[in-house]
Structure 1
């Protein structure tokens, strides 16, 4: 099994909206990527929650059966459609993939 974790820090303002609005829109768009390919086991998008420690604004936690399933997700048109929006609103990104 392969785990794919991505964390984004968003710009204060981008695409005509503030950080909180963009975070909600990003989550909405990423949620549409759940279950788009065979081998996608877990897909969870969460936003930083007030009152809890967070150094990033949006986190994606996902699990795939193998590298081929993750690659299929990355190349899927639904996922590719989200990438330009995220690129426009993000200040920083961290990612880690690992096998268990």
Structure 2
């Protein structure tokens, strides 16, 4: 399984809801096993510039690639890119993850 995690910061705090609305298009793409978008709770004590988190689980790299190739993915980028300051993305295969017992 592939986990896809993307972190966003908005250029302006007033635009966070618009960022979430734009990213909500991604939830309509059918290739994810699980998909979530949430505003960051910012519970740590250090300066935290992350406003929104996208989390998805995909059966394999083919499913993730199909998700990224979908027209709604491109539409979400078009809506969100002008509103965001930072974007960090991570994709990893859970088969290679180190786990605690």
Return the TM-score normalized by structure 2: 0.79
**Is 2:7 the counterpart of 1:7?**
yes
**Which one has a bigger Cα radius of gyration?**
2
Q: Tell me how far 1:35 sits from its aligned partner.
A: 4.6
- When you count helix as a share of all residues, which structure comes out higher? 2
Secondary structure at the counterpart of residue 27 of structure 1 = helix
Kept in 2: contact 1:37–1:72 (CA 8 A): no
**Is 2:23 the counterpart of 1:30?**
yes
Kept in 1: contact 2:8–2:87 (CA 8 A): yes
Q: CA RMSD in A?
A: 1.7
The residue aligned with 1:64 is 58
Distance 1:74 1:49 in 2: 27
Distance 1:10 1:26 in 2: 7
Segments of 5+ residues of structure 1 without an aligned counterpart are 13-18
Return the TM-score normalized by structure 1: 0.80
- When you count strand as a share of all residues, which structure comes out higher? 1
